[in-house]
Structure 1
């Protein structure tokens, strides 16, 4: 078992080391940490500025590790299942446990490098003051335990789920259910909800990362949350080992690959625009997932309303708009990163470009199909923002309303620009474009917001700046579109 796992880990490490995406992720994390150091140096007049810097470092690294689990660890075994090569690996005598561990060995080392990257920045945080060595030990223990748990969850879903998309969605759902409930206590006034969140928070590693960075922390690094992460990770790996043969090998032997399943369940005729129909039905789940995307914001609204009975409906609508926007960004990020990457991966792009439609028309049709499938997710935040204007008590023609409307348009254009950049980068570095693009856009947005508020503009000046920003982003989107078409043309010629 050990020899097979080492062989697969060595091969995976060799392949991963030659990809630009891994280096882009590490560079993105370093730039984000450097930005945090610059902000901390500018606020040295505050007490415990080093502790705040350390907290920001831990949370940023946890975000990168979560992205690695959702889009990386969850795809390792599903790639072999979709390529129908697991049987060949088993014929070599490699055990079921060696395959997921070996396939994810390189990724686990890459994630450990992400943890090690912040060591110099931690020294800077210690120099700035407000942080003790017990906090450093406890923070890194919680971070490594969180990495171990995320990797185990991703590996388990990669074994149990039939394709990469469902594995990523399931991993994201499990991670969200584990990490989010303790942070929602501030939105609830019900004692039973708070009691449940406190129980989950006792074993939540994200909560432990926040706890160790509280002023005066002197607890042990081996907290219940750390032990839970270690034990739960081992349990996930044992479950993946137990289910590997029944859910991976037998699935391939029966010939039920994701592509065959897709062709079997669709029997009706295609639309007059078949590429739009193909993108809507196959890539975005068709009518079923449209209904799901319609239901998610509605469920969010009633959950927040139930937890905060008697409050202003404008408050509930505003929070629903925020959560719906976050859900939309996550949903759109995953789907748009696969918009053309799956065509390259499954070697269908060269056939698609041989259709009578031009490259620009194919690009437009795929975008239209994606937008049709994601329409509920895209429109939900704007709907609840409009409801906020209706239910809140400030006048509809006030300057605050004007700024919110213009700012909302600017944010929407920024998100569309982010998605175009993600499409372009995914054609170069695959799924690793997700954390890299998020880092770029986060840093750009951070500098933009800081510049707007430090300039001390009035409302009308800010609205003018927002409008000018929207125009600039529109030009950037047009330029990115040209770059995407050029890259697709190159990929079509080399396929």
Structure 2
């Protein structure tokens, strides 16, 4: 058992240590800690407690990286073997399921824990800067380490159950959202039901439900970190959050072992799945005859689900908006049509941004993954027209969200007519728009280079770039802004930043095209 585990463990670590990108990632993380140190030093001149500011930034930075690792790094431990169809070969070599799970998950967990541990000495600088005690540092890193252990096993379980890496990552995101958002919302909704006497207070059901929700709330690493970062923290680092995350992580690993033979040994097709598309002649689930633009037709139906998925999105979005507006109407007691329109508008705007981000991560990745760019490039079209056709087909899947966005705009037109002029006149609005466009282009470009994780990697790179930009602004503001007349200089920097991002969008167009041409010629 341990021989197979050690062989996989040793190979995974050897490959990781030889990859240049692994060392670049660690260097990037160290650079982020340096930015946090300088930012805390600058902030201490205004609000004091530089150590607490530095410690808070580092802890939340680690939390974000752990979440991204759970979505991309841990959730692909077994699915990548399924996609390459090598699980059967590993089992034939004498590696049993438990050894395989340990050998695939332990190297990733050890790599993440090493990244967490090597920064521990630098975090001790926060104690010398003031505002933080040694017990707070120990408690914070214990909470993050046990949450990392729990999340790695959650990703392992999703990787065992799901057939594709994208499905496993989606399942991890849904699980995290259900815990971090679902538990507080459930507790809030249940308290309202008790206050309005929908449920009789004092009963066994109410008492037991409150205890379960309280236990789930205390198991959250966010709540534990918030408690640790408060001044005067003197609790034990081995609290409810530590032991609950540890036990749940062990249970998730045992569940992955039990479900391995049921799900992990299922044969995965080596060709792209049809999804909801049916061969039968039906207007909803059949693609029918190809359009004049065949590539747009292909991506709309076979990548985005076609009419069937659009109808499902339309129904789900409508049900979610109806439930949200009904709940706000019930709690606020006064909810006008314009406020309903604003709620629909902002909700669907967020949904649209998320959908376009997902599209940018898979529009070209599908061709790269299934090695169909060679045959696609043989069409009598330029690579630019092929790329634009694929993007157009994927954008047709945004019609349900765009319809609800239009409805929200109509309902809140009177309210928005006054504010839209002020928003459009703000330079920061155009900066955000350009930055979002650059983020989508960066995601699409990265999806042609890496097998998975283009979207979280683009998010991290954008975050690092923003931190570096605002870090430079902070340094320049100390030299110019606080001596008078610095507002115009900072506005000029903002304009330069917007122009630089616009140039980056244009360059990324050509880089994506050249990358697709290179992949098609291989």
TM-score normalised over the length of structure 1: 0.84
Of residues 371, 375, 390, the one that matches 1:347 is 371
Contact 2:423 2:429 in 1 (8 A): no
**CA deviation map 1:195-245 (0-9, x unaligned):** 686553211122212221111111111111111111111111111111111
Q: Deviations over 1:330-359 (max 9, x none)?
A: 544444223323433332222222222221
> Which residue does 1:88 correspond to in 2?
89
For residues 193 and 333 of structure 1, the distance between their equivalents in structure 2, rounded to whole angstroms, comes to 40
Structure 2 gap segments, 5+ residues each: 196-209, 280-285
Secondary structure, counterpart of 1:356 in structure 2: coil
d(CA) in 2 for partners of 1:97, 1:378 = 47
Give the distance between the partners of 1:202 and 1:181, measured in 2 at CA.
14
Does the CA-based 8 Å contact 1:324-1:381 persist in structure 2? yes
Shift of residue 65, structure 1, vs aligned partner: 1.3
- Is 1:201 the equivalent of 2:217? yes
The corresponding residue for 2:303 is 283
Residue in 2 that maps onto 1:43: 43
Q: Which of structures 1 and 2 has the larger relative contact order (alpha carbons within 8 angstroms, sep 6+)?
A: 1
- Displacement of 1:157: 0.7
Judging changes above 3 Å, is the alpha-carbon distance between structure 1 residues 160 and 2 closer, same or farther for their aligned structure 2 residues?
Answer: same
315-324 or 266-275: bigger deviation: 315-324
- C-alpha change, 1:292 and 1:26, in structure 2 (3 Å) is farther
Which deviates more, 284-293 or 53-62?
284-293
Contact 2:277–2:301, Cα closer than 8 Å, also in 1: no
**1:363 CA drift (Å):** 1.4
In the alignment, which of 217, 237, 251 is matched to residue 221 of structure 1? 237
Matching residue of 2:17: 17
Shift of 1:19: 3.9
What residue in structure 1 maps to residue 418 of structure 2?
Answer: 396
> Aligned Cα RMSD in Å?
3.9
Q: How does 1:100-179 map to 2 (within 5 A)?
A: 100-179=101-180
- Partners of 1:437 and 1:94 in 2: CA distance: 36
Deviation at 1:323, TM superposition (A): 5.8
Q: TM-score, normalising length from structure 2? A: 0.80
Cα-to-partner distance string for 1:83-129 (whole Å, 9 max, x where unaligned): 32222221112111222321233322221233134324412322221
Residues 1:397 and 1:237: Cα distance change in structure 2 (over 3 Å): closer
Change (3 A) 1:458 1:278: farther
Preserved contact between residue 35 and residue 468 of structure 2 (Cα < 8 Å): no
Aligned counterpart in structure 1 of residue 248 of structure 2, from 229, 232, 235? 232
CA distance in 2, matches of 1:311, 1:29: 48
Q: Deviations over 1:294-348 (max 9, x none)?
A: 4348625742661542366677766766665555555444442233234333322
Give, in angstroms, the shift of residue 35 of structure 1.
2.1
Q: In structure 1, what is the Cα distance between the partners aligned to 2:346 and 2:240?
A: 32
CA gap 1:463/1:288 in 2 versus in 1, 3 angstroms:
farther
Of residues 439, 442, 459, the one that matches 2:463 is 442
CA distance in 1, matches of 2:326, 2:38: 40
SS in 1 for 2:418: coil
Q: Which 5+ residue runs of structure 1 have no aligned equivalent?
A: none
Aligned counterpart in structure 2 of residue 210 of structure 1, from 213, 218, 226: 226
In 2, are the aligned partners of 1:52 and 1:213 still within 8 Å (CA)?
no
Q: CA deviation at 1:158?
A: 0.8
User: Which whole-Å CA distance do the structure 1 matches of 2:383 and 2:166 have between them?
Assistant: 26
Give the conservation status (yes or no) of the 8 Å contact 1:28–1:439: no
**Are positions 1:53 and 2:24 aligned together?**
no
Query: What is the DSSP-based 3-state SS (H/G/I as helix, E as strand, rest coil) of the residue aligned with 1:259?
Result: coil
* Displacement after TM superposition at 1:136 (Å): 0.9
Pair 1:362-2:382 in alignment: no
Q: Against the structure 1 CA distance between its residues 473 and 301, is the aligned structure 2 distance closer, same or farther, given a 3 Å change threshold?
A: farther
